[in-house]
Amino acid sequence: IDGFTLADPDTNLPSAPGVGSAMTPSALPALGHALGAINAQMRELNAPFGSIREGAGSNNWVIAGAKSAESGHAMVANDPHLSLQYPPLFHLAAMTASDGSGLNVAGGSLPGIPGALIGRGNHVGWGLTVVGYDVTDLYRDTLADCGQPVPCVNSVPLLPVSFDIKVRGGADVTDTSPGQKPILVVRQHGPIIAQIDATTVISMRWTGHEVTQDVKAFLDLSNASAVGDTSAATGTAFAALQNFAVGAQNVVLADDQGNIGYDPHALVPLRPWATAHFPWVPLPGDGSADWGSQNAADNCAGTGASAPAIPGPCWVPDDKLPRGVNPTKGYYATANSDPAGYTAQANPNSPFGSTVNPSLYPYLSFDWDDPTDMRYARIAEVLQTKTASTGKVSLADMQALQTDHVMLLAKIFEQRNFYPDAGTVNQVTYTAARQLLTAWAATTTPYDCPTGLTSSDPKSAAVTDAATLTNSAGCLLFHTFLTKLLHNVFDDDFAVVAATNGQSSFGGDTGAEIRALVVALLPNLNQHSFCDDVDKNAAVVAAKTCGMQVINALSTAYGTLANAYGTDTKNWLWGRVHTLTTQSAAAPLIAGAFSGGPFARPGGALTVDVGNPSGSQLSPLAFGYGSGSNLRFISVMDPAATNAQMKMQLPGPERDAPAVLSSSLNLLNMYVQNQYFDFLYGHQVDNQGLPTQRFTP
């Protein structure tokens, strides 16, 4: 694929950071308990609201005017994936001013944030997905007595920081309140988050501790006159994004002149020492692994230093980040995967191949939010087909792709021969399972994941179309098999990690596990790495090849479904178990909090219309999910504002109150059925006769 940076197809991959002597894997056990404590803190934070990462992700893409079937107008699409609450996290937002300022912005935003996080202004539309840059480092700092009220690190006293928390109807919580104390900050790095021993602590440096102007970036983006280019001329979208610094996003851009762009601008630390240290483990706090140019005059120290220039000698310069405008392929797309192809050579699923510009900074991250590349690969597959030769993309195509539920992961398993030949396996259930998966691949819509039901009610009747029923059964079998395979292969290894760190349990990352299967383990079904069963001391208790694990998992999955639903696979209906229930964020605190569902939903693990089953469910046949598209947004960038088209979906109402519960389910019902509504833009809205509220300063 013509990559983000417009690199030549034969460009080589930049070198990855080498293994240094200051921190090697053998040194990690000494930090095990401290890292375990940090992990426990994160789990405690996630407990009330669910894991931030589980089911997270987003899709976006832009189509250049030259490849658009909508009168040659560029188009932008975005759907952020977050927890599906009731009401949803996003809300519809629009601001139009008649005072000559030209303000005319619409889209979706989060409560309390002015304008639109995702949307369009007069001339430019944009969409966001999380990049996944590595913008955090942990440091092993040594405390020393330096004659100050607090200890010092490298002769610099710690900084006590207090926060007063206002409590409605109660006393404020301060650092003098019972059980409270100031946060101690290592000035060069950041707050202390764990203690190893009496004189050694772990501190954290994060770009979010810097002084930035991110809000200004969105205000300027709303008023941008054009996409612009990487020179960031004043008034363009690229210029606006110079102020976007924290919470790095893959920003795709489209303007009303047919141009498109991609700019994941953010503060990314310069790590010139990355060839001597692992950037992903706790680093030495002696200054040898600090951020920036390591020139003291550049003032790249952490807390306590003045805000560094953006860009400046402390941060990766813009021309070392993956960005570009108007690619020859006619589109940009992102989906939280490696944005520059760093991992492509190790991942044959990546559409990037080995295409990456060697001028990019050699280390941007090691842990992308979607390490599998599956959603991006499916989006690219569809857009490549649509734009081939003289092909063009329509608004209907944009909607169909946003709601696409073809499971590329299942296709990869089949194409890469990850299943042992059924002729060599003497198991009736394995042979029957392979026959169903083969039939799934042979339908008119291979690897599709429909509900198999006549409505969004999980109890509704099954459809009668044979191909749809085959797809539904194949999808259910594959998900049941995949869940079993992940548990069989990795659970015993996580038990080893938990025992090493002194934790009662340790959970993995499903995306990373799937990547490990697809990239490292299943290409060689005869290997034993990770596939042997081990005890908590890592001793092998049962030697198993990866091929044996596949056979066992698939046979068990087929038997589980046959026991539950009978051997007639027409009764294996994905929509019975793949359900969505949206619930108020106040549910843990308020009994009877408002919710919607359950709804039978198509899609599944790593589909574009994402529906990743929760990994915390107890039953092997429970595939409910609670994270997905919080907003669906598509805009045709017609230069005539009166002709502007915006298509939207929102999974629920704008507010949570009993009076609106019955009527507001219309938005949620439309979302469940993948139906869009037109969102009027700017002066297309006629406010006459409608109730209004006026706010004066």
Radius of gyration from C-alpha coordinates of the chain? 26
Q: Nearest Cα to 138, choosing from 96, 79, 201, 85?
A: 201
- Identify which of 382, 448, 394, 406 has the alpha carbon closest to the alpha carbon of residue 634: 394
> Where are the chain's structural domains?
408-575
pLDDT band, residue 632 (cuts 50/70/90): very high
CA distance 6 to 330: 11
> What is the average pLDDT across 39-43?
63
Q: Which of 282-286, 508-512, 685-689 has the lowest mean pLDDT?
A: 685-689
**What is the Cα–Cα distance from 114 to 101, expressed in whole angstroms?**
16
* Share of residues in the chain with pLDDT > 70 (%): 83
Q: Which residues have C-beta within 8 Å of that of residue 13, sequence separation ≥ 6?
A: 341, 342, 344, 345, 354, 356, 358
Beta bridge partners of 260: 254
The 10s digit of each residue's pLDDT in 305-318 is 455 566 678 899 99
User: Using one digit for the tens of pLDDT, what is the confidence trace for 346-368?
Assistant: 555 555 554 556 678 888 888 78
DSSP line for 169-184: TSPPB-TTSTT--PEE
pLDDT tens across 157-205, in order?
Answer: 999 998 888 888 888 888 777 777 888 999 999 999 988 899 999 999 9
% of the chain residues with pLDDT over 90: 57
CA distance 582 to 524: 41
Give the pLDDT confidence of 75-116 residue by residue, as tens digits. 999 999 998 988 889 999 998 887 777 788 999 999 888 889
CB–CB of 130/334 below 8 Å? no
Over residues 373-401, mean pLDDT: 95
Say how far residue 458 (Cα) sits from the centre of its chain: 28
Say which range, 517-521, 613-617, 669-673, has the weakest mean pLDDT: 613-617
Q: Tell me the backbone φ, ψ of residue 575, rounded to 5 degrees.
A: -70, -15
| Whether the model pTM is above 0.95 | no
* pLDDT digits 0-9 by tens, 50-73: 443 455 579 999 999 999 999 999
DSSP, residue by residue, 333-399: EE-SS-SS-TTGGG-TT-TTTT---TTS-S-S-S--SSTT-HHHHHHHHHHHHHHSTT--B-HHHHH
Q: Is 282 helix (H, G, I), strand (E, B) or coil?
A: coil
pLDDT band at 528 (very low <50, low <70, confident <90, very high): very high
Residue 131 to residues 184, 292, 503, Cα–Cα distance (Å): 30, 21, 31
Tell me the pLDDT band of 474, cut-offs 50, 70 and 90: very high
Rounded to an integer, what distance in angstroms lies between the CA atom of residue 649 and that of residue 634? 9
Residue 267 has pLDDT above 90, yes or no: yes
Beta bridge partners of 77: 61, 634
Q: What is the pLDDT of residue 124?
A: 97
The number of CA neighbours under 13 Å toward the Cβ of 481 is 24
Does 641 or 672 have the greater pLDDT score?
A: 672
